[in-house]
Structure 1
Amino acid sequence: MTDADNHPDSGNRPDTDRTETGDRPGAALLDVRDLNVVYRGSGWRRPSFHALHDVSIRIGAGETVGLVGESGSGKTTLGRALLGLAPVSSGSVTFDGTDITRAGRRARRALSRDIQVVFQDPYSSLNPAMSVESILAEPLRAQGTSRAEASVRIGELLRQIGLTADAGRRYPREFSGGQRQRIAIARALALEPRLIVCDEPVSALDLSTQARILDLLIDIQQQTGVAYLFISHDLSVVRYICHRVAVMFKGRIVETGDGAAVTSDPHHPYTRRLLMASPLPDPVRQAERRRRYAALA
């Protein structure tokens, strides 16, 4: 099988329709409204930086919403704000009907049961000095799970991500990049969260591994009903996994809509440029895309 066969741009999985979940009024698990993030400058030489401008986004239970934009567009800042890692200047973040905009440390610790994150780089997001079993046990033990219960849960997680039971005794350095990202996903799933922020989770992987990780995320969602905020710069990846898509440009949401529509026939000029900049495995189609991109410039 070639990388072209595995590339997400080759189409959705035949047994999965990622566009059937809509933005249903009143059904939001996560509701972000008019969110602003401003980083204050230190001293007169460093002016304040307005990273997010009146950002609003909704994610329903069991839904995947893609957040797309180039580097510096503000998409990771939004993910950090949802996790309490970036300062919110104004606006609100509501999770399951509760305002968590300025939740304190104790409240955030309780929220970790429901909101988790998978980071971009599987090489740096796992502690190399800890065994896989210890990495997966850490969030469970922090929530008061007994050693015996944690051991059972770790076995379930390893099976869920397609690794054998003896993987728990090994260290991250003994696994490939794709396997490490599977372990990172298992760590995020340990507490059975309702929402996972996926921050560029496949961008550091080769094309064939990307496709396998995306399929794993889709399978997990179908089994557990977990929702994803899927942050990416790659429209083809977002088309493959997301029900709906929001496009971010210079800290603002400039286009939202059905995943297939936004990633195939966008309306905003910025989204069209993103689409034209995405590579295709077919050289003829890629040449045509380059000509169309030059016409937009």
Structure 2
Amino acid sequence: MNETEQRSGAVSEDVLLDVRGVSVEYRVRGGGRRRTRVLDDVSLTVRPGETVGLVGESGSGKSTLGRAVLGLAPLAAGEVRLDGRVISGLTGAARRRLAGDLQVVFQDPQGSLNPAMTVRDIVLEPVVAAGTEPADAERDLRTLLDQVHLPADALDRYPSEFSGGQRQRIAIARALVRRPKLIVCDEIVSALDLTTQARILDLLVEIQERTGVALLFTSHDLGVIRAISHRVAVLFRGSLLEFGDVRDVTGEPRDPYTRRLLMAAPVADPGRQRERRAAYRAEFPLATAGR
């Protein structure tokens, strides 16, 4: 999947994930009771079988929004609904039961995979924890590994024996094993080389077409977002600047910040890259001062 490709095709108009007026605040370290707002009144939806991309620079709030959906960031305002049910504020057993519908793949597969466990144990852990007998859970394990394009002999190996891209495939398999309705993907290709990035993005598209799982996909790279998303939400300093169809937001962005992200995204052709860099410097001279 190259930089110019964009997602298309019919997606259900039903709403799977509904984020309504979400704000998140954190206490300022050393500031007593002072708090800083890192997300401010953000609203968006994700439909069944759809990928919504969250894009923005570091500190924009995109990962915080993913954490809010997962219940890892407490809300100062607003609510999060999944399949019509309010899930913000769930704790304990209620939050654990939600794992059948909502899963996550983190940025660093090496940090999120237990190095002392085999791939078999890593992937089976979520279903065994949910009460499924290991023998029953293992029945579909080889099919699942085939879906993420890992060899069958991977089951008895350890994460350290795999490349970064392969470890991310293991993490994706673990997220898929419960057959969730939505997976939050937090910068999952940012640490990978460009070739491996493209393979993981193609894999996610393939899995989505086969299973119908929805994705909330965060990235600082608008080129990656263009390739994987049906709709795009652009975040800047905790605020939602634009939200719409990927072709509209990346083809004719309304906000200067979105144009800046688009023009900063690298392209493979050296001539086009020089033209884009020159246009970027002409439109945003302050952003390039001193470079």
Query: Where on the TM-score scale, by shorter chain, does this alignment land: which range?
Result: over 0.9
Match 1:33 to one of 1, 20, 26: 20
The answer (yes or no) to whether the contact 1:19–1:243 under 8 Å persists in 2 is yes
Quick one: which amino acid aligns to residue 36 of structure 1? S
Identity %: 58
The answer (yes or no) to whether the contact 1:23–1:58 under 8 Å persists in 2 is no
Quick one: which amino acid aligns to residue 20 of structure 1? G
Match 2:77 to one of 81, 85, 90: 90
Match 1:9 to one of 3, 23, 34: 3
TM-score w.r.t. length of structure 2: 0.94
Aligned partner of 2:214 in structure 1 is 227
Aligned partner of 1:3 in structure 2 is none
Match 1:218 to one of 197, 205, 210: 205
Q: Take 2:82 and 2:121, find their aligned partners in 1: how far apart are those partners?
A: 30
Quick one: which amino acid aligns to residue 136 of structure 1? V
Aligned partner of 2:94 in structure 1 is 107
Q: Take 1:45 and 1:292, find their aligned partners in 2: how far apart are those partners?
A: 46
Aligned partner of 1:142 in structure 2 is 129
Q: Take 2:218 and 2:278, find their aligned partners in 1: how far apart are those partners?
A: 28
Shift of 1:261: 2.3
1:245 matched to 2:239: no
User: Pairwise CA RMSD of aligned residues?
Assistant: 1.5
Shift of 1:43: 5.4
Shift of 1:280: 1.2
Match 2:8 to one of 19, 22, 29: 19
Q: Take 2:65 and 2:105, find their aligned partners in 1: how far apart are those partners?
A: 14
Shift of 1:54: 0.2
What runs of 5+ residues in structure 1 fail to find an aligned partner?
A: 1-5, 13-17
Q: Take 1:250 and 1:22, find their aligned partners in 2: how far apart are those partners?
A: 30
Partner-residue secondary structure (3-state), 1:230? strand
Aligned partner of 2:287 in structure 1 is none
Quick one: which amino acid aligns to residue 48 of structure 1? R
4+ residue segments displaced more than 6 Å: none
Shift of 1:45: 5.3
Shift of 1:250: 0.5
TM-score w.r.t. length of structure 1: 0.92
Moved more, 36-45 or 184-193: 36-45
Q: Take 1:21 and 1:246, find their aligned partners in 2: how far apart are those partners?
A: 19
Aligned partner of 1:282 in structure 2 is 269
Partner-residue secondary structure (3-state), 2:16? strand
Quick one: which amino acid aligns to residue 203 of structure 1? S
1:177 matched to 2:164: yes
Match 1:268 to one of 243, 246, 255: 255
Q: Deviations over 1:76-109 (max 9, x none)?
A: 0000010010010110101101011111221110
Number of aligned residue pairs: 284
Aligned partner of 1:254 in structure 2 is 241
Cα 1:56–1:130 shift into 2, 3 Å: same
Q: Take 2:251 and 2:116, find their aligned partners in 1: how far apart are those partners?
A: 44
Cα 1:44–1:185 shift into 2, 3 Å: closer
Shift of 1:59: 0.3
Q: Deviations over 1:185-232 (max 9, x none)?
A: 000001000000000111111111111111110111111100000101
Shift of 1:10: 4.5
What runs of 5+ residues in structure 2 fail to find an aligned partner?
A: 285-291
Q: Take 2:167 and 2:217, find their aligned partners in 1: how far apart are those partners?
A: 18
